[in-house]
Chain A
Amino acid sequence: MIMDVNAYGCSLPGCNGPMSGVCINGLNFEECPDVVANLVADDISVSVDDSPRSSDLVSTRGLSSLDALSCDSLLRARGGIVVGVVAGPEVGKTTMIATMYEMLHRGHIPDVQFAGSETLRGYEERCHLARVASNGLIPNTPRTPTSAKLSFTHLRLATTEGIKEIIFSDRSGEHFDNVLDNPASIVEFSELARADVILLLVDIEHFLKAPHLPTSRLRRLLMTMDQQSLLTRKTVRLVGTKADLAKSKEDLKAARVSLRDLASDLTSRTNGRVEITPLLIAARRRDGATEIAEGLKELLFEILKDPAPFAAEQVFAWPVHLTEMDKLMHVYRSKK
């Protein structure tokens, strides 16, 4: 998202901040600590009488979610694993991301520890309806509205191999529905182009009841992404969500078999170029299960796994007329 320059000022005398287009400290406005929001009363959490003047406030750059530009900036500074989440409406994208956060910050995943996040408030918004503090009676997750633009959430994790940054994409499921009508428009889904891992989500409860429609949709989405080379050299997993709604062990077994068959079907549609592996997850606790958030640990380890090294085919040809440098290199290459 582009900064609304009229919404920000500067606490330094003589600098008009983003509105003027020039920072007197010579900093990027995204980074300058003196940039302050021109506050609207509703934006302030403390009571009006106690609220400080906007000129007394400094932006601390903590965000609800990252837009594409902020995400790019973070990746350039720290690197990271981008996870592209592909799913239609109400399949469970937000619940999956929120539960991953809940598991991590509570220390429920062995060998992985929470080390920070640039989008803490965003995670908290997504987790709110599953918490007692919401005064809800049953756990829920806020729906990503159709109007919501592409956003990202960030987690910094300490693993046995060191610190790793993970960025999850989040966009409305309706956007993927629209792509089915205009397949070429998927090139505008920048998160998929940048993703290291792509998760194809399917609501396993609906899938078991009526498999044809979700199967067809996933096939077309996969074809669309494959045609635009969005799957090349990426880890792709087919994730069956809402396994917690399985009523019996037989249902769960059926879900696993169906998901495996669907994954094979999708793999075959890429002529085997992309191996799509299935995984069943339960973001909530399943009746009779001893484990909470089944499948999420495996999913996280898969995301954190270093990708297999890519063996690039080296194509080389000498120019017809060799320069002095080419001649030198020719000798060098011949020796190699």
Chain B
Amino acid sequence: MMMNQLIVGMPNSGKSTFIAALRHVFVANEVSTELELTGLADNEAHLNRLEDDWLACNRVSRTKPTTEGWVQFNVRDRRSGVESILSIPDLRGEAFEQPACNGQCNKELYDALIDTDGVLLFTNADKEDDMLLIADLMDILGPPELVESSDAQQKFDVFKPENMPEEVKIVEFLQVANRRPLSPRCRKVAVMISAWDVVATMGRTPDQWLLENRPMLAQFLITNSMLWNSRVYGVSAQGGKLPQMKASLEKVVRPSERIRVVGHGAQPHDLSAPLSWLMSGQC
């Protein structure tokens, strides 16, 4: 059975790191997972490079136009025994921004979005608040010391669509999947909060974190549950912040145990759990 899953996320949201770690988990087979690898694909070059970076505890390189591509995993569900080919694009984050920024989308990506059975949607928890209001900042810091108010009104950066908040770009991308002339249909979406190691100490569940920190996306998914059957997971695919934690991560005997996954009964290191859910049954 061929399953098309789509990995979606803006630049630096953790997509490639996830793919690199997932590849290692599958090949190493050293932690409990819901899916297992049944064999290598015909072309493994891109995956090899990603996994090499991940194993060396280096930041996984940003995807470039020359390294964009589709990766393939031949997998089997351990419980049901169902075998599938997961076809996942590893694309630059910029590709996902385009619908919000200029109302266009790469045709290959657009077709993949239409055809997809499930979406792995990444958002990075270790990121500055890009929706912060000046008024909120003034509440904390007090009003700015101004020479003349007219000066203050004139000092600002012009609007650039690529600098829009991440949530806005994600919501617009998801809206494209059901916008006319396409017929709306239900899909599954697993929201992956990457860099969960940063959040883990705050005692929040992934659902709580999403509602508090990505309220627009959280509301969109709740209010469009007929179109988006969603789950939220916290994921630390790297295991810690790089380069600060490089030395301690290198000491982990079984690299798969660097990984942390939280939510919906997933085993602690099982990156395949969200994929397994996306693959299971109807929306």
Contact = CB atoms under 8 A, between A and B. Distances in A.
Contact of A50 (B94, B131, B144, B216): B94
Contact of B100 (A113, A121, A142): A121
B168 A120 contact: yes
A4 interface: no
A142 B157 CA distance: 12
B257 interface: no
Interface residues of B, number: 60
A303 to B, nearest CB: 18
A233 interface: no
Interface string B139-172: 1000110100100110111011111110110011
Contacts of B168: 120-121, 124
A291 to B, nearest CB: 13
A62 B215 contact: no
Interface in A30-73: 31-33, 36-37, 43-46, 49-50, 52, 56-63
Interface stretch (A127-135, A178-186, A294-302): A127-135
Contacts, number: 171
Interface string A135-170: 111111010000000000000001000010000000
B133 interface: yes
A133 B103 contact: no
Contacts of B215: 105-107, 114
Interface residues of A, number: 56
A136 B220 contact: no
Contact of B104 (A59, A125, A134): A59
A307 interface: no
B101 interface: yes
A158 B104 contact: no
B102 A27 contact: no
A7 interface: no
Interface in B177-196: 179-182
A121 B101 contact: yes
